[in-house]
């Protein structure tokens, strides 16, 4: 065993200490703490905290430290907010961008409405920290109340029928959407009895519908959107509202807007209350769901929805010319190809939403080189006690 003092907190939420001239990363520790650890290469396993930091907080979950789902429950609220804001600052600094980063917006709300649990013979839950071994849990406090205990319980029931599987849960306004993924060949009808549970709206197996009692749906602005199987949805309802609010504030008085990588329309449906909107995404079921929501919602400005792969076929400057503003919210890989086309355009306002600060910074550098100014950056926290952070950046030409 080794005694050492933690010097800083790394970007993965692990304490950093130098031992024999090399960095060692120790989970669940804080800067300034004297700890006892076991060293294995650049990894350190915490044995005990000898001198706790005054910023150490009491974990909210009994599984913290064993479960691999949360990394930061031991961090005080003040340092937690600074850490997440720092992730964005570091990404921008690395890309050579000097723009002040706003205060972290707490958008954890009532908890995550989406989760994927692993179901195995040993139980149901998440993988243990730094391990491929399952941690069997009775409940999860970071989830919305309808999922906290029901998700582990239902995952165990599904394992009894489906064997080893992963189970995705989404809590919607009309009930639970449950998606089972397994490599086993399984007759869907074996799952039907489990689909009769009162709060279950839909059950699917490997992307195919097993049974639906009512369409899982979520409210987006004035619209009610029926979710396709496997569609993307912000992890918390509060984050969707916060991100949409920042997007709309950034758009100002824009009357024509292009919403790219639009998904099922969390921004488009709200923007359309005041502006004409063109939307595009490669996810055809998402576009179909968005179009259906548009058709059944009164009081919206015209919305044009198309299925288009913006990675391979980004909108060119001539196609962007009709719009006062652009919104783009790509997956973690970012929107490099589309950003290059936007940088060549004359569109005055661009609002970028991202779940990965590093790819945001790369795309931001492209826009800045093309003549845009990064006016503001706001980090948004929806993944409680994780090392992930969302952000919204507003660019003006």
Kindly state the helix (H) or strand (E) to which residue 353 belongs, with its residue range.
strand 349-354
Buried b (16+ CB within 10 A) or exposed e, 351-366: bbbbbbbbbbbbbbbb
Strand pairing partners for 26?
15
Rounded CA-CA distance 44/1 in Å is: 10
Which residues does 56 contact at the CB level (< 8 Å), separation at least 6? 30, 33, 49, 74, 75, 76
In whole angstroms, what is the distance from residue 181 CA to residue 230 CA?
Answer: 11
The neighbouring-strand residues paired with 327 are 259, 351
In this structure, are residues 175 and 216 in contact, taking their beta carbons and an 8 Å threshold? yes
Q: Which of 67, 70, 140, 355 is catalytic?
A: 355
Sign of the Cα torsion 316, 321, 323, 326 reads positive
Between CA 144 and CA 234 the distance in angstroms is 13
Catalytic residue list contains 140: no
C-alpha span between 393 and 391 (Å, rounded) = 7
Task: Give phi and psi for 90, each to the nearest 5.
Answer: -65, -40
Query: What is the dihedral angle through the alpha carbons of 248, 365, 396, 262, rounded to the nearest 10 degrees?
Result: -30
**Active site positions, annotated:** 355
């Amino acid at each position: 065993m080794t005694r050492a003092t933690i010097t800083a907190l790394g970007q993965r939420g692990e304490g950093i200490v130098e031992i024999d001239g090399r960095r060692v990363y120790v989970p669940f520790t804080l800067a300034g703490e004297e700890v006892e650890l076991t060293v294995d290469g650049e990894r350190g396993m915490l044995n005990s905290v000898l001198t706790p930091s005054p910023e150490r907080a009491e974990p909210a979950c009994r599984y913290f430290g064993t479960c691999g789902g949360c990394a930061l429950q031991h961090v005080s609220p003040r340092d937690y907010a600074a850490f997440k804001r720092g992730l964005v600052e570091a990404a921008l600094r690395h890309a050579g961008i000097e723009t002040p980063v706003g205060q972290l917006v707490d958008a954890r709300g009532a908890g995550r409405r989406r989760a994927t649990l692993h179901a195995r013979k040993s139980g149901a839950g998440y993988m243990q920290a730094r391990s491929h071994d399952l941690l069997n849990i009775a409940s999860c406090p970071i989830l919305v109340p309808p999922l906290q205990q029901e998700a582990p319980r239902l995952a165990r029931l599904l394992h009894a029928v489906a064997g080893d599987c992963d189970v995705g849960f989404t809590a919607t306004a009309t009930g639970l959407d449950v998606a089972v993924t397994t490599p086993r060949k399984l007759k869907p009808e074996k799952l039907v009895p489990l689909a009769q549970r009162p709060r279950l709206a839909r059950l699917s197996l490997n992307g195919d519908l097993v049974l639906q009692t009512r369409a899982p749906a979520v409210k987006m602005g004035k619209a009610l959107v029926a979710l396709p199987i496997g569609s993307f949805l912000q992890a918390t309802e509060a984050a969707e509202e916060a991100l949409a609010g920042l997007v709309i504030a950034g758009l100002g008085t824009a009357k024509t807007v292009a919403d790219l990588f639009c998904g099922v329309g969390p921004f488009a449906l709200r923007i359309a209350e005041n502006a004409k909107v063109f939307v595009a995404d490669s996810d055809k079921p998402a576009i179909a769901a968005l179009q259906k929501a548009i058709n059944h919602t009164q009081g919206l400005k015209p919305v044009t929805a198309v299925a288009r792969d913006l990675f391979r076929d980004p909108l060119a400057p001539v196609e962007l010319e009709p719009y006062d503003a652009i919104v783009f919210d790509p997956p973690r890989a970012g929107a490099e190809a589309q950003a290059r086309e936007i940088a060549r355009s004359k569109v005055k306002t661009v609002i970028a939403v991202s779940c990965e600060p590093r790819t945001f910074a790369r795309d931001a550098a492209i826009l800045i080189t093309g003549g845009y100014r990064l006016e503001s950056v706001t980090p948004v926290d929806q993944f409680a006690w994780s090392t992930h952070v969302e952000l919204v950046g507003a660019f003006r030409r």
